[in-house]
Structure 1
């Protein structure tokens, strides 16, 4: 993978390239970024750049023997470690290497949920076991075979339990020209003994514009790309999944729902909308609620005189400004709270028809009677 294939993250790419040009390559680095930020893809592109035989000013050449092997994830000096669902105590990452190559090649913005789909997970817990730690030590005890560097990319070190301490010595005192690239999402879940031995590289969430442009360039309609980029909140993995679902109009349906609650004079329309929402399916219901939460948050920004911070497509922005006048700041916050509670219950298999009817009535109470419920009642199951 080359840097140019990765969406956005120009500042991080430049920092990585400069570290090579200035000969400041740390032997243990932690790529820390939220899911969907491209941290894993950046680590692979960085490893390819380090190993490239005809390195260009800003990227690997993509044509030399080393780059061709990297493109297939089959370079003899490139090693991967990742969480897996062990069937036997001796299972390690090599047991699942073909599945790993297939998963990464299909989507370099991999998430654990997507990775789980390539494995027979059953009800097992993902982890990086002691057998894998011993395999890492064994693989990295030798000198590089072809390239200047032998590189291990360890994805999600959060799934190393205390057995991960077995790696401390080789991380702190590796063989010459051996690099550890750890790719993590949650710093607090990494063993402190490992964290203290790495150089931190922070990777931010992707921008709305970068995700939108990526989706449009890959054939998605502009309106769907804008909505997916907005809903994903910087997570390109989530944005891609949103575009792969059945196309829907969260914006139009949510505004229609709010307007029906605001007018409160056509009960038949409300029940029809509740039936429509109940038939969306759980994932679409969750995305619908997430859109509503995001939309109301933008309305709150408008009401707080922070319209310059709003990120909505032009048509939706105009409607948000009008909706902000109808729903002041405090009611908007209270409705947002109801939507967050509804999202929580949908994830736990709530009865959608009862749930959306109850939320509708709560919105009406908030808007007309200024009744703000402190806690959600568990009445949806």
Structure 2
């Protein structure tokens, strides 16, 4: 994994490269960023750069013996630790082949995607005490080939109190041993571990980076790439998941739905509900996610914040018209209904009943100007 293979994050890449070139490599670092931002990929690319035998000014060479092994995740001085879902005696070594396959297939790995590779069903993810002992054992030896021995611990949030067993090896590691943690939620990490690491905050990917990636490497049209980039909200994992499902114009469908509700078109709404029920669960979730984002953009337009609204030109014109008739309280009420519907779709609610109910709630908001208690309706 080279830095050039990672989408965006130019400032983070430069910071990591500079730390190596200026010999300011901290032995314990925490790559903290939301899902789909590329934290795991950055950690692997950083480790590869550290071990590269012919470092370039902005990346590893990609062709030396060390880089070739890193690109297959088979370097003897590169180790991984990650959540497993089995018995307390299972460790990451039991699933190393699945791990390599999962990461090399999709560097923007999520826990749900990883779960699918190990066929875990609904078992609880965990980094157990056996894994902690395995980590200590891995890091007790000197590097074999490279200057550095590197252990990348993905999702330390799943370390329970047994994670305290790692404190000594984190605080006083063997010479030239690096401990790289890749996390998504700082609040769920043991404070004793958090206090012993150097924090590297990784932001969400921006809209243009995701859009460009989808157009250049996944051959999406500009319209399709724009919609997926908009829906993914900076999460490349989510954007790649959306590519696996049928491409639909969620904008056209959503505006049609709002117009039917505004006009209180009973029979046409029933027909629309039947159409939505046949879309499949993932497309239904994406549709609701799009609607939530679109209504939020309308509220930004209403507030005069057009410069930060990320909508294609056609959708922007529709949003401007809608922002003139939907005030903040009405928008909040609609968003609440859409978010509730998304929650229930994830839990396998009957889509016909669900979309009919949401339609009736939106009719009340748009046509009857009725909002739930707490959403104070302001006429202008």
TM-score (norm 2): 0.96
Cross-structure match for 2:53: 53
Deviation of 1:374 after TM superposition, in Å, equals 4.0
Q: Which secondary structure state, in structure 1, belongs to the residue aligned with residue 153 of structure 2?
A: strand
Cross-structure match for 1:80: 80
Cross-structure match for 1:379: none
Q: Does 1:134 align with 2:133?
A: yes
Q: Residues of 2 paired with 1:119 and 1:374: CA distance?
A: 46
Q: Which secondary structure state, in structure 2, belongs to the residue aligned with residue 80 of structure 1?
A: strand
Cross-structure match for 2:267: 268
Q: Which secondary structure state, in structure 2, belongs to the residue aligned with residue 55 of structure 1?
A: coil
Structure 1 stretches of at least 4 aligned residues deviating more than 3 Å after TM superposition = none
Deviation of 1:267 after TM superposition, in Å, equals 2.2
Cross-structure match for 1:95: 94
Deviation of 1:86 after TM superposition, in Å, equals 2.1
Cross-structure match for 1:258: 258
TM-align CA RMSD:
1.1
Cross-structure match for 2:117: 118
Q: Residues of 1 paired with 2:25 and 2:75: CA distance?
A: 20
Contact kept in structure 1, 2:263 and 2:367, CA below 8 Å: no
Cross-structure match for 2:181: 182
Cross-structure match for 2:278: 279
Deviation of 1:333 after TM superposition, in Å, equals 1.7
Contact kept in structure 2, 1:220 and 1:243, CA below 8 Å: no
Cross-structure match for 2:22: 22
Contact kept in structure 2, 1:224 and 1:243, CA below 8 Å: no
After the TM superposition, which of the residue ranges 353-362 and 289-298 deviates more from structure 2? 353-362
Q: Which secondary structure state, in structure 1, belongs to the residue aligned with residue 324 of structure 2?
A: helix
Deviation of 1:329 after TM superposition, in Å, equals 2.5
Contact kept in structure 2, 1:80 and 1:93, CA below 8 Å: yes
Deviation of 1:357 after TM superposition, in Å, equals 1.3
After the TM superposition, which of the residue ranges 353-362 and 168-177 deviates more from structure 2? 353-362
Contact kept in structure 2, 1:40 and 1:108, CA below 8 Å: yes
* Structure-2 change in CA distance of 1:236 and 1:63 (3 Å): same
Q: Residues of 1 paired with 2:337 and 2:373: CA distance?
A: 10
After the TM superposition, which of the residue ranges 214-223 and 151-160 deviates more from structure 2? 214-223
How many corresponding residue pairs? 373
Contact kept in structure 2, 1:211 and 1:229, CA below 8 Å: yes
Contact kept in structure 1, 2:115 and 2:121, CA below 8 Å: no
Contact kept in structure 1, 2:261 and 2:367, CA below 8 Å: no
Task: Output one character per residue of 1:190-220: Cα deviation in whole Å (capped at 9) or x when no partner.
Answer: 0111000000000000001000000001212
Q: Residues of 1 paired with 2:354 and 2:230: CA distance?
A: 25
Deviation of 1:348 after TM superposition, in Å, equals 2.2
Contact kept in structure 2, 1:17 and 1:58, CA below 8 Å: yes
Task: Output one character per residue of 1:53-104: Cα deviation in whole Å (capped at 9) or x when no partner.
Answer: 00001100001000000000000000000001224x4321111000000000
Q: Which secondary structure state, in structure 2, belongs to the residue aligned with residue 369 of structure 1?
A: coil
Q: Residues of 1 paired with 2:241 and 2:52: CA distance?
A: 33
> Structure 1 regions of 5+ residues with no counterpart?
376-381
Cross-structure match for 2:41: 41
Q: Which secondary structure state, in structure 2, belongs to the residue aligned with residue 63 of structure 1?
A: coil
Cross-structure match for 2:207: 208
Cross-structure match for 1:11: 11
Q: Residues of 2 paired with 1:154 and 1:332: CA distance?
A: 42
Contact kept in structure 1, 2:157 and 2:185, CA below 8 Å: yes
Contact kept in structure 1, 2:91 and 2:130, CA below 8 Å: yes
Q: Does 1:146 align with 2:181?
A: no
> Structure 2 regions of 5+ residues with no counterpart?
375-380
Q: Residues of 2 paired with 1:139 and 1:268: CA distance?
A: 66
Task: Output one character per residue of 1:7-52: Cα deviation in whole Å (capped at 9) or x when no partner.
Answer: 0000000000110111110000000000000000000000000000
Deviation of 1:274 after TM superposition, in Å, equals 1.2
After the TM superposition, which of the residue ranges 218-227 and 189-198 deviates more from structure 2? 218-227
Contact kept in structure 2, 1:300 and 1:333, CA below 8 Å: no
After the TM superposition, which of the residue ranges 137-146 and 89-98 deviates more from structure 2? 89-98
Q: Which secondary structure state, in structure 2, belongs to the residue aligned with residue 200 of structure 1?
A: strand
Q: Residues of 1 paired with 2:372 and 2:156: CA distance?
A: 41
Q: Residues of 1 paired with 2:141 and 2:373: CA distance?
A: 61
Contact kept in structure 2, 1:7 and 1:214, CA below 8 Å: yes
Q: Residues of 2 paired with 1:357 and 1:100: CA distance?
A: 43
Contact kept in structure 2, 1:225 and 1:243, CA below 8 Å: no
Q: Which secondary structure state, in structure 2, belongs to the residue aligned with residue 247 of structure 1?
A: coil
